[in-house]
A and B are shown apart, each in its own frame.
Chain A
Amino acid sequence: EVQLVESGGASVQRGGSLRLSCAASGFTFNTYRMSWVRQAPGKGLEWVSSISSSSATIYYRDSVKGRFTSSRDNDKNSLYLEMSSLRDDDTAVYYCARVPLNYVGSESYYLMDFWGPGTLVTVSP
């Protein structure tokens, strides 16, 4: 059974730092792209970052570039999100998600097929 479990969420002061972790099990972790997605209170889903299976390619949304760093340890089946210079608008539940590339005929599509339950990050003044 595929399982993703985030941890590391906490209440932190504005300008502070935090490291989130996502423990994966039930699948061959080192063959999948992974992503972080967040949801601020009362808001919708917002993609944060994606990292390829080998860590060769890492993408970030503009608002976190230079402040957040995604990484993974394939030996430990774990995904990480290092967050620094935290701002009030970083307050959110952070989810990790598995990102397979599925084929329909000759076309391929990324999707997020398994998600963790999320971990809450609260940035206070």
Chain B
Amino acid sequence: DIQMTQSPSSLSASIGDRVTITCRASQIIGRSLNWYQHKAGKAPKVLIYGGSTLQSGVPLRFSGSGSGTDFTLTISDLQPEDFATYYCQQTYSPSSITFGQGTRLQIK
């Protein structure tokens, strides 16, 4: 299986900050990397697919970059509703999809 490693595991930031979360794949996955936001008690929400394509309806302050094995999710101008847990996901191997372990973004 392709292992996905996110860092950091948790992060504290303030409203208006810019934060970056990284995700590393254990092998080359092209750009088959998605990012999700998950809030407790709610359904996960896809933010970015194909490494850098913003899903319809997602605010422009979210952006993704990377290819191969290294990827980043950047949130500019943090808003109160952005505090959540973020996951990367590889779909390069659709027979064995894997998620990163998650990054919990908390208010400082």
Contact = CB atoms under 8 A, between A and B. Distances in A.
Interface of A: 35, 37, 44-47, 50, 59, 61-62, 95, 97, 102, 104, 107, 109-118
B94 A109 contact: no
A112 B38 contact: no
A44 B94 contact: no
Given A50-B94, A109-B34, A116 B53 contact: no
B95 A59 contact: yes
Residue among A97, A104, A110, A115 with most chain B CB within 10 A: A110
Given A95-B43, A112-B46, A118-B43, A46 B96 contact: no
18 contacts: A37-B44, A44-B87, A44-B102, A45-B38, A46-B99, A47-B96, A47-B97, A95-B43, A95-B44, A107-B50, A110-B94, A111-B34, A111-B50, A111-B91, A112-B36, A114-B43, A115-B44, A116-B43
A118 B42 CA distance: 8
Interface of A is mostly: strand
A17 B16 CA distance: 48
B53 A104 contact: yes
Contact of B31 (A44, A97, A107, A117): A107
A67 B58 CA distance: 37
Interface in B90-106: 91, 94-102
Given A59-B94, A109-B32, A112-B34, A44 B99 contact: yes
B49 interface: yes
Contacts of A35: 97
A37 B38 CA distance: 13
Interface in B1-35: 1, 30-32, 34
A115 B100 CA distance: 18
Residue among A97, A110, A111 with most chain B CB within 10 A: A111
B65 interface: no
